[in-house]
Amino acid sequence: MWVFGPGAIEKMLNSSHDVRALTGMLMVEDLFHKLEWQAFWTHKDEATYPVLEQMKELQNILVANERCPEQFEVINGQMEQLHKNFLEF
């Protein structure tokens, strides 16, 4: 992982290094999301969400190049519920 020093941060804030600034913002955003999910899973039981196991099965189906529209429909609804619970958390 990269380290941004005070000089680099000042240049990013002044828009003289836009690519570096965007990269830095995306890294920070990713870190926040990871921390949020870690906190979520410390208070929730993964067994409550069978969709997680179904996602693993779906991944195996896709690796085998098989079609699976029914699985997508089931998983989509369950993922929406998981996302809603995460946002409420």
Q: Are 28 and 64 contained in the same domain?
A: no
Helix, strand, or coil (residue 5): coil
Same domain, 59 and 37: no
Q: Does 37 lie in the same domain as 8?
A: yes
27 plus 13 within the same structural domain: yes
Is residue 29 domain-shared with residue 15, that is, in the same domain? yes
Whether pTM exceeds 0.75: no
31 & 14 share domain:
yes
User: Over its length of 89 residues, how does the chain's per-residue pLDDT go in tens digits?
Assistant: 456 667 766 776 777 667 777 777 788 889 898 999 888 888 888 777 877 777 777 777 777 777 767 777 777 777 888 888 888 88
11 class by beta-carbon count within 10 Å (0-12 exposed, 13-18 middle, 19+ buried) = middle
36 shares its domain with 51 = no
> Per the structure, how many domains does the chain have?
2
